[in-house]
Amino acid sequence: MPLVKVEMLEGKSNDFKKTVLDCIHDGLVDSIGIEDWDRFQRIEEYEKSNFEIPSFKSEDFMIIELTLFPGRTKEQKGKAIEMITDNLKNRLSIAPGDVFIIINEPPLENWGMNGQQKECNS
């Protein structure tokens, strides 16, 4: 159950934003094997004055935060980063240098779903 947050400059079309979310979701399905229904994604848009980026980045620059259950291998996480970046490049012509991805893995005890703390299997 990945939680996805995308931060970007405001002004992109709804179709563009939907394609961004699809690129991320498809990369996660193909790399770490999540179910197709497993879409907990959001986009936060910022005015240019509230989203400072280096001058050599384009208006397409985005920060993608993936919050995952722990347990994925280094290789799976690397594959997710590569596939998401490739999808964005191939479908939206976003340069790989404009994609910044961070993966967070809070322990299961820090997840609450359906009013219950997620149980650890240890």
Q: What is the pLDDT of residue 110?
A: 64
**What total of structural domains would you count in the chain?**
1
46 inside domain: yes
Percent of the chain, pLDDT > 90?
A: 78
CATH code of the domain covering residue 58: 3.30.429.10
Give 64's pLDDT tier (boundaries 50, 70, 90).
very high
Q: What is the pTM of this model?
A: 0.89
Mean pLDDT of the region 38-67: 95
81 inside domain: yes
pLDDT in tens, 5-35: 999 999 999 999 999 999 999 999 999 988 8
14 inside domain: yes
- Give CA–CA dist 57/55, Å, rounded: 6
Query: Which domain, by its residues, includes 102?
Result: 3-117
Q: What is the pLDDT of residue 97?
A: 97
